[in-house]
A and B are shown apart, each in its own frame.
Chain A
Amino acid sequence: MTTPDRKKNPFVVLQTKLHRPQLSKDLVPRSRLLERMCTSQDRSSGFNHNLTLVSAPAGYGKTTLLCQWLEASPHQSAWLSLDEDDSDIAVFLRYLIGAIQIVYADACPRTIELLRAPQLPPLDYLTATFINELDKLSEFPSQGDPAAKDLILVLDDYHNVNDGKVHDLLATLVQHIPQSLHLAIATRADPPLPLVHLRGGHQMLEVRAEDLRFTLEEAQAFLERAVGLGLSKEAVTTLEERTEGWAVGLRLAALSLRGANDPDLFVRTFKKSGHRHVTGYLVDEVLTHQSPTTQEFLLQTSILERFCAPLCDEVLDVAQFPTSSQAIIEELERTNLFLVPLDYRGVWYRYHHLFKEVLSRRLLAQYSEEQLTVLHSQASAWLARVGLVDEALHHALAAGDTATAIRLVEEHRYEALNHSRQWQQVEWWLDRLPAEVIEQRPALLLLRAWLLHTRFRLMDIPPLLERASTLLNDNEPRLGEHTRLLLRAEIDALRSQNCYWQGDGKQCLEFAQRSLAATPSDQRQTRGLALLYVVGGLHQTGDIAAARAILRDGLKDTQSGSNTLAPRLLLAQMGIEFLDGDLGSVAKSAAYLLDMVQKKWHSVNANWAHYYLGRVQLERNNPAEAQDHFDAVLERRYVAHGRVVQDSFYGLALAYQAMGQSAQAEQVSDAASAYALETGNTAFMLEVESFRARLALLQGRLALADHWARAFDQETHMIPALFLETPHSTLVKILLTLGTPDHLNRAEMVLTRMQRFFADTNTPWSMIELLALQALLRDAQGDRKVALTALEQAVTLAWPGRFIRVFIELGPRMAILLRQLTDRDVAFEFVEQLLTSFPDFQLEDKGIENLVKPLTRREMDVLSLLAERQTNKEIAQRLLISPLTVRKHASNIFQKLGVRGRRDAVAAAENLGILKTR
Chain B
Amino acid sequence: MGKQRRKLTMYTPAVFRIRVQGVLDESWSNYFGYHDMSVEEDETGSPVTIFTSEPLDQAALAGLIGHLNVLGLPLKSVEYVQHQGCQS
Q: Do A and B originate from a single complex?
A: yes
The residue that A192 contacts in the complex, of B11, B33, B66, with Cβ under 8 A, is B66
Structural contact, B11 and A209, CB atoms closer than 8 A: yes
A213 is an interface residue with CB less than 8 A from chain B:
yes
A187 is an interface residue with CB less than 8 A from chain B:
yes
Structural contact, A55 and B60, CB atoms closer than 8 A: yes
CB-CB < 8 A to A196: which residues of B?
29-33
Which residues of chain B from 34 to 88 have any CB-CB distance to chain A below 8 Å in the complex? Answer: 57-60, 62-64, 66-67, 70
A246 is an interface residue with CB less than 8 A from chain B:
yes
CB-CB < 8 A to A209: which residues of B?
10-11, 57-59
B4 is an interface residue with CB less than 8 A from chain A:
no
Structural contact, B59 and A56, CB atoms closer than 8 A: yes
Residue of A nearest to B11 (CB): A209
Structural contact, A210 and B57, CB atoms closer than 8 A: yes
Determine how close the nearest CB of chain A comes to the CB of B55; give it in whole angstroms: 11
Structural contact, B31 and A195, CB atoms closer than 8 A: yes
Query: How does the 8 Å CB contact mask read for B1-44 relative to A, with 1 for contact and 0 for none?
Result: 00000000111110000000000000001111100000000000
Q: In the bound complex, how far is the Cα of B67 from the Cα of A193, in angstroms?
A: 9
The residue that B59 contacts in the complex, of A57, A197, A244, with Cβ under 8 A, is A57
Structural contact, A55 and B11, CB atoms closer than 8 A: no
CB-CB < 8 A to A187: which residues of B?
59, 63
Residue of A nearest to B67 (CB): A192
With contact pairs A56-B59, A196-B31, A209-B58 given, residues A190 and B64 touching in the complex (Cβ less than 8 Å): yes
Structural contact, A192 and B59, CB atoms closer than 8 A: no
CB-CB < 8 A to A189: which residues of B?
59-60, 62-63, 66
With contact pairs A55-B63, A190-B60 given, residues A210 and B33 touching in the complex (Cβ less than 8 Å): no
Structural contact, A195 and B32, CB atoms closer than 8 A: yes
A680 is an interface residue with CB less than 8 A from chain B:
no
Structural contact, B31 and A194, CB atoms closer than 8 A: yes
A554 is an interface residue with CB less than 8 A from chain B:
no
With contact pairs A194-B31, A195-B32, A196-B30 given, residues A188 and B11 touching in the complex (Cβ less than 8 Å): no
CB-CB < 8 A to B57: which residues of A?
56, 208-210
Structural contact, B12 and A55, CB atoms closer than 8 A: no
Q: In the bound complex, how far is the Cα of B63 from the Cα of A194, in angstroms?
A: 12
Residue of A nearest to B34 (CB): A196
Structural contact, B60 and A244, CB atoms closer than 8 A: no
Residue of A nearest to B65 (CB): A189
Q: In the bound complex, how far is the Cα of B31 from the Cα of A167, in angstroms?
A: 12
Interface size class of A (residues with CB under 8 A): 20 to 34
CB-CB < 8 A to A194: which residues of B?
30-31
Which residues of chain A from 193 to 217 have any CB-CB distance to chain B below 8 Å in the complex? Answer: 193-197, 208-210, 212-213
Structural contact, B31 and A192, CB atoms closer than 8 A: yes
With contact pairs A190-B64, A192-B70, A208-B11 given, residues A55 and B59 touching in the complex (Cβ less than 8 Å): yes
Structural contact, A244 and B9, CB atoms closer than 8 A: yes
A144 is an interface residue with CB less than 8 A from chain B:
no
Residue of B nearest to A200 (CB): B30
Structural contact, B13 and A210, CB atoms closer than 8 A: yes
Determine how close the nearest CB of chain B comes to the CB of A723; give it in whole angstroms: 42
Q: In the bound complex, how far is the Cα of B60 from the Cα of A210, in angstroms?
A: 12
Determine how close the nearest CB of chain B comes to the CB of A890; give it in whole angstroms: 51
Structural contact, A57 and B31, CB atoms closer than 8 A: no
With contact pairs A164-B70, A195-B31, A196-B30 given, residues A190 and B13 touching in the complex (Cβ less than 8 Å): no
With contact pairs A191-B63, A192-B63, A209-B58 given, residues A244 and B10 touching in the complex (Cβ less than 8 Å): yes
Query: How does the 8 Å CB contact mask read for A162-175 relative to B, with 1 for contact and 0 for none?
Result: 00100100000000
With contact pairs A57-B58, A208-B11, A210-B11 given, residues A190 and B63 touching in the complex (Cβ less than 8 Å): yes
CB-CB < 8 A to B9: which residues of A?
244
Determine how close the nearest CB of chain B comes to the CB of A551; give it in whole angstroms: 54
CB-CB < 8 A to A246: which residues of B?
10
Determine how close the nearest CB of chain A comes to the CB of B50; give it in whole angstroms: 19
Determine how close the nearest CB of chain A comes to the CB of B62; give it in whole angstroms: 4
CB-CB < 8 A to B64: which residues of A?
190
Q: In the bound complex, how far is the Cα of B32 from the Cα of A212, in angstroms?
A: 22
Structural contact, A190 and B33, CB atoms closer than 8 A: no
Structural contact, A213 and B11, CB atoms closer than 8 A: yes
Determine how close the nearest CB of chain A comes to the CB of B15; give it in whole angstroms: 15
Residue of A nearest to B64 (CB): A190
Residue of B nearest to A191 (CB): B63
Q: In the bound complex, how far is the Cα of B9 from the Cα of A197, in angstroms?
A: 27
Determine how close the nearest CB of chain A comes to the CB of B30; give it in whole angstroms: 4
Q: In the bound complex, how far is the Cα of B32 from the Cα of A57, in angstroms?
A: 18
Residue of A nearest to B71 (CB): A192
Structural contact, B11 and A190, CB atoms closer than 8 A: no
Determine how close the nearest CB of chain B comes to the CB of A9; give it in whole angstroms: 33
CB-CB < 8 A to A167: which residues of B?
70
Residue of B nearest to A198 (CB): B30
CB-CB < 8 A to A197: which residues of B?
30-31
Residue of B nearest to A246 (CB): B10
Determine how close the nearest CB of chain B comes to the CB of A739; give it in whole angstroms: 55
Determine how close the nearest CB of chain B comes to the CB of A155; give it in whole angstroms: 15
CB-CB < 8 A to B10: which residues of A?
56-57, 209, 244, 246
With contact pairs A209-B10, A244-B11, A246-B10 given, residues A190 and B30 touching in the complex (Cβ less than 8 Å): no
CB-CB < 8 A to B59: which residues of A?
55-57, 187-190, 208-209
Residue of A nearest to B62 (CB): A189
Determine how close the nearest CB of chain B comes to the CB of A269; give it in whole angstroms: 21
CB-CB < 8 A to A193: which residues of B?
31
Q: In the bound complex, how far is the Cα of B62 from the Cα of A210, in angstroms?
A: 15
The residue that A190 contacts in the complex, of B12, B29, B62, B70, with Cβ under 8 A, is B62
Q: In the bound complex, how far is the Cα of B31 from the Cα of A815, in angstroms?
A: 64
CB-CB < 8 A to A195: which residues of B?
31-32
CB-CB < 8 A to A57: which residues of B?
10, 58-59, 62
Q: In the bound complex, how far is the Cα of B70 from the Cα of A167, in angstroms?
A: 10
Determine how close the nearest CB of chain B comes to the CB of A61; give it in whole angstroms: 12
Residue of B nearest to A164 (CB): B70
Determine how close the nearest CB of chain B comes to the CB of A211; give it in whole angstroms: 8
Residue of B nearest to A162 (CB): B70
Q: In the bound complex, how far is the Cα of B12 from the Cα of A57, in angstroms?
A: 12
CB-CB < 8 A to B62: which residues of A?
57, 159, 188-190
CB-CB < 8 A to A191: which residues of B?
63
Residue of B nearest to A62 (CB): B59
CB-CB < 8 A to A244: which residues of B?
9-11
CB-CB < 8 A to B31: which residues of A?
192-197
Q: In the bound complex, how far is the Cα of B60 from the Cα of A56, in angstroms?
A: 8
CB-CB < 8 A to B33: which residues of A?
196
CB-CB < 8 A to B11: which residues of A?
56, 208-210, 212-213, 244
CB-CB < 8 A to A190: which residues of B?
32, 59-60, 62-64, 67
Q: In the bound complex, how far is the Cα of B59 from the Cα of A209, in angstroms?
A: 8
Determine how close the nearest CB of chain A comes to the CB of B64; give it in whole angstroms: 7
Q: In the bound complex, how far is the Cα of B39 from the Cα of A12, in angstroms?
A: 50
Q: In the bound complex, how far is the Cα of B58 from the Cα of A244, in angstroms?
A: 14
Q: In the bound complex, how far is the Cα of B10 from the Cα of A189, in angstroms?
A: 12
CB-CB < 8 A to A164: which residues of B?
70
Which residues of chain A from 247 to 271 have any CB-CB distance to chain B below 8 Å in the complex? Answer: none
CB-CB < 8 A to A56: which residues of B?
10-11, 57, 59
CB-CB < 8 A to A159: which residues of B?
62, 66
Q: In the bound complex, how far is the Cα of B63 from the Cα of A56, in angstroms?
A: 10
CB-CB < 8 A to B13: which residues of A?
210
Q: Which 8 pairs of residues, A with B, have the shortest CB-CB distance?
A: A190-B63, A209-B11, A189-B62, A194-B30, A189-B63, A197-B30, A192-B67, A210-B11
Query: Could you list 30 A-B pairs, sorted by A, with CB under 8 Å?
Result: A55-B60, A56-B10, A56-B57, A57-B59, A57-B62, A159-B66, A187-B59, A188-B62, A189-B62, A189-B63, A189-B66, A190-B59, A190-B60, A190-B63, A190-B67, A192-B31, A192-B63, A193-B31, A195-B32, A196-B29, A196-B31, A197-B31, A208-B11, A208-B59, A209-B11, A209-B58, A209-B59, A210-B11, A212-B11, A246-B10
Additional pairs, 17, CB under 8 Å, beyond known A57-B58, A192-B63: A55-B59, A55-B60, A55-B63, A159-B62, A189-B59, A189-B66, A190-B60, A192-B31, A194-B30, A196-B32, A208-B60, A209-B11, A209-B57, A209-B58, A210-B57, A212-B11, A244-B10
Interface residues in chain A, defined as those with a beta carbon under 8 Å from any beta carbon in chain B: 55-57, 159, 164, 167, 187-197, 208-210, 212-213, 244, 246
